[in-house]
Structure 1
Amino acid sequence: MGFADQRFTVNLSILFTELPLLERPAAAAAAGFGAVELWWPWTDAPVPERAALDALKRAVDDAGVRLTGLNFYAGRLPGPDRGALSVPGEESDRFRANIDVAADFAESLGCTALNALYGNRVEGVDPAEQDALALENLTLAARAADRIGAALLIEALNEPESPRYPLVSAPAAVAVVDRVNEATGLGNATFLMDLYHLAMNGEDLPEVIERFAAKTGHVQIADSPGRGAPGTGSLPLEELLGRLRKAGYDGRVGLEYKPGDRPSAESFDWLPREAR
């Protein structure tokens, strides 16, 4: 199995960022892709104006692409924030205000996966308090996702780039997945397996795939080191995705890499157009 056997989706929050947000869906379509995903686009607005939501929906619809994944509000991405749902006070409140807004927007575009970044540890706050708040908010998010027929994704990041983020291994993220499913009884919480982050953590990727493919709801890739396109680093991404397919994962693979110093449309030369 190789890249041609996969179904890819382009993350428009890290690729095509040289273009205004509303032009990115059409650019992805012009590059040959039929599916896109997004971090929450309005970093300072968990509840944006209706006109902003409508404009983005129209841009996706007009481009003829499908939105397959969307993050809940997570603070400033890219930037120092790594989620809001476990951060007591205003950030947690903003996350809660965003839950139904994000779910309804996702539903309007047929999106079936919602990613909830856990949130950084906060100095002076008991980690147990943050974990209890996270479980409470993830339960609300899982129920909202279930209402629209979507999966809730829970992601491990990497410790070198996100030192205050507590989920920096596949087992840590999957443990939260299990706790959320136990709390809700819905079974729609799943693991977001980002091979770049796991590689940066030094994890044994074939072992992670073998152990957790069955609990994986989405996969994202970038090469490591550097977080560039496949072939710019040392990860055997084609082989790893083949392993995932053999292990039973048949979902899409999100392209969440940096294009480097060239236009995003030129960063897909590793993937034949007919395979997009």
Structure 2
Amino acid sequence: MLKFAANLSLLFAELPLPQRFAAAAAAGFPAVEIQFPYDYPADVLATAAQAAGVQVILINVPAGDLMQGGAGLAGHPARVAEFAAALPVALAYAQALGARMVNVLPGRLPAGVSRAQALVVLAANLARAADYFRPFGIRVLCEPINDLDMPGLLLRTADELAALLADGNCCDVGMQVDLYHMARMQQDIPALLRRYLPAIAHIQFADAPGRGEPGSGALPLAQYFALLGELGYTGWCAAEYRPTARTQDTLHWLSELA
């Protein structure tokens, strides 16, 4: 049976972040993830998670100005020191929250830098992050993101990510695959899952094209989940969608798909 988690950066957003842990638990989620938890003290979030009895499975490493439209940190030759400085920040939160995975967003192509140069920097930063987190039992992931919602992204498909991770220095970096992003890039999702499942450490999902809850768009998510079950996927599937109504009113899929 698949395991479903709630992304607290998008779900239950009608509540302050510390209150979303209890809301997720009440809705039936045993685990949660957070994109960027850094606006709240780590101990405040850890206390809320523990009180709600939910497991925090993943957070993102700080990404600089990426979410504001900038190039971010991970693929920028002039921001290598900033990326290195983000790692202990992410570690402190991951340890406080008990997260065993951290995700590195690939960033946009910086002005004046070739894609080949940026990818070399990204690969080196991923290897550095993996080395940094490995002694703490925390795995580093990386995620391709569609360039329709976020133009200029360095990694847009699972194939592009897999090619980068083929570098021997990145061999223990896991793939994070968001079915929504791959659908937006018109990827063959069943073929993608069959090909890359051994390397996929974490899956996220939303319906497409609107990034709403399952059933709000055109993706056959139930079929994808059935395939994951057939393939023996044992990781988490995290709901990272923008609810079209109150989150509690969009959770029909949880009992239907689980």
TM-score by length of 2: 0.92
- Structure 2 CA distance for partners of 1:273 and 1:155, relative to 1, 3 Å: same
- d(CA) in 2 for partners of 1:66 and 1:169? 29
Asked if the contact 1:25–1:60 (Cα under 8 Å) also holds between the matched residues in 2, the reply is yes
Cα offset, 1:274, TM superposition: 11
Give the structure 1 partner of residue 209 of structure 2.
Answer: 225
Give the counterpart letter for 2:38 in structure 1: W
- Alignment counterpart, residue 198 of structure 1, candidates 176, 182, 188: 182
Aligned to 1:235: 219
Q: 1:7 aligns with which of 3, 8, 16?
A: 3
Q: 1:234: how far off?
A: 0.9
Tell me how far 1:63 sits from its aligned partner: 1.6
Q: Point out where structure 1 has 5 or more consecutive residues left out of the alignment.
A: 44-50
| 1:118 pairs with 2:116 | no
* SS at 1:270 equivalent: helix
Q: 1:253 aligns with which of 215, 218, 237?
A: 237
- The CA RMSD measured in Å over matched residues stands at 2.1
Q: Which among 82, 87, 92 is matched to residue 99 of structure 1?
A: 87
**Residue from 12, 20, 27 that aligns with 2:23:** 27
Would you say the 8 A contact 2:222–2:257 is kept in 1? no
Distance in 2, Cα, partners of 1:118 & 1:54: 28
SS at match of 2:121: helix
Aligned to 1:48: none
Query: In the alignment, which of 74, 99, 104 is matched to residue 85 of structure 1?
Result: 74
Q: 1:118 to 1:212 in 2, by over 3 A?
A: same
Counterpart Cα distance in 1 of 2:101 and 2:237? 12
Deviations 1:92-126 (A, max 9, x none): 43322121221232133331111100110012123
Contact kept? 1:192, 1:216, Cα under 8 Å: yes
Q: Displacement of 1:83 after TM fit? A: 4.1
Give the 3-state SS of the residue equivalent to 2:51 in structure 1.
helix
Equivalence map 1:115-194=2 (5 Å) = 115-179=103-167, 182-183=168-169, 187-194=171-178
Please show how residues 54-69 of structure 1 align to structure 2 within 5 Å. Answer: 54-69=43-58
Displacement of 1:40 in angstroms is 1.7
**Structure 1 residue 273 displacement after superposition:** 8.9
Q: Which stretch of structure 1 is more off in the superposition, 100-109 or 66-75?
A: 100-109
Task: Report the Cα distance in structure 1 between the residues aligned to 2:131 and 2:195, rounded to whole angstroms.
Answer: 26
8 Å Cα contact 1:150-1:188 kept in structure 2: no
- Of the structure 1 ranges 248-257 and 103-112, higher mean CA displacement relative to structure 2 is found in 103-112
Amino acid corresponding to residue 11 of structure 2 in structure 1: L
Count of matched residue positions in the alignment of Structure 1 and Structure 2: 258
Alpha-carbon distance in structure 1 between the residues aligned to 2:199 and 2:207: 23
- Over 3 Å counting, the alpha-carbon distance change for 1:77 and 1:268 in structure 2 is farther
1:269 partner letter = H
Deviation for aligned residue 1:132: 2.2
Aligned partner of 2:36 in structure 1 is 40
Instruction: Give the secondary structure class of the aligned counterpart of 1:145.
Output: helix
* 1:72 maps onto 2:61 in alignment: yes
Deviation at 1:82, TM superposition (A): 6.7
TM-score normalised according to structure 1 size:
0.86
